[in-house]
Amino acid sequence: MPRELGHGLDQHLASVGQAPAAFDADGSLVFMVGEHLQAYAATLPDGRLELFAGVGYVRAETLQALVQADEDDDFDEDEPRHVADVVARWTGEGSQWAADVDRQTGLLSLSMFIPAIPADPADWAAILEAFERCGASWMARLQSDPPDPLQAGGAEFADVTSGAFLRC
């Protein structure tokens, strides 16, 4: 984890009265974005910055539809999980975004990919504001608890469309 990532992020967090970021077990920085969103930051091998957070759980019917769609589309079991679980990708706010759903738990993770580590604390403010706004939008549409897979009846994949799930 480059030192400049932690330093720049901590400068911004201090300027808004937030606690500094800490390292988690995987080596990512963990910190609060606003009052309700715990986020993580990590640099990717290509130098991009990824911000990510678990923002809530999809309904059992939606999870069942995703799993069924994987089976119907000859889902590649050898695909890395971070690629295999993606259900939506888009661009906005000068970044690339992705939403992925863990097929075991139904947890939806929001990721924001930034071309480089921000050097200016003002850039951090804009990036984290966009991440918080998008995270809040997803949180409002998701459940706070994991779905009960036994309650999932016959689900239709039509539930999961870019219009139903995509965009902040």
Q: How far apart are CA 44 and CA 63, in angstroms?
A: 28
**Strand, coil or helix: what is 71?**
helix
Q: What is the largest CA-CA distance in the chain?
A: 50
- How many CB atoms neighbour CB 162 within 10 A? 11
pTM recorded for the entire structure: 0.79
Amino acid at 50: E
Residue 74 DSSP symbol:
T
The predicted structure's pLDDT at residue 48: 93
- The 3-state DSSP composition of the chain as helix, strand, coil percent (nearest 5) reads 35, 25, 35
Confidence category of residue 82, pLDDT binned at 50, 70, 90: very low
- Residue 78 predicted with pLDDT over 60: no
- What are the backbone angles phi and psi of residue 145, rounded to the nearest 5°? -115, 150
**What does the pLDDT look like over 16-75, one tens digit per residue?**
999 999 999 888 999 999 889 999 999 999 999 999 999 999 998 888 888 877 665 555
Span between the terminal Cα atoms of the chain, in Å = 29
**What does the pLDDT look like over 83-105, one tens digit per residue?**
556 788 999 988 999 999 988 89
Amino acid at 134: C
Domain 3-165 is of which CATH architecture? 2-Layer Sandwich (3.30)
The predicted structure's pLDDT at residue 1: 47
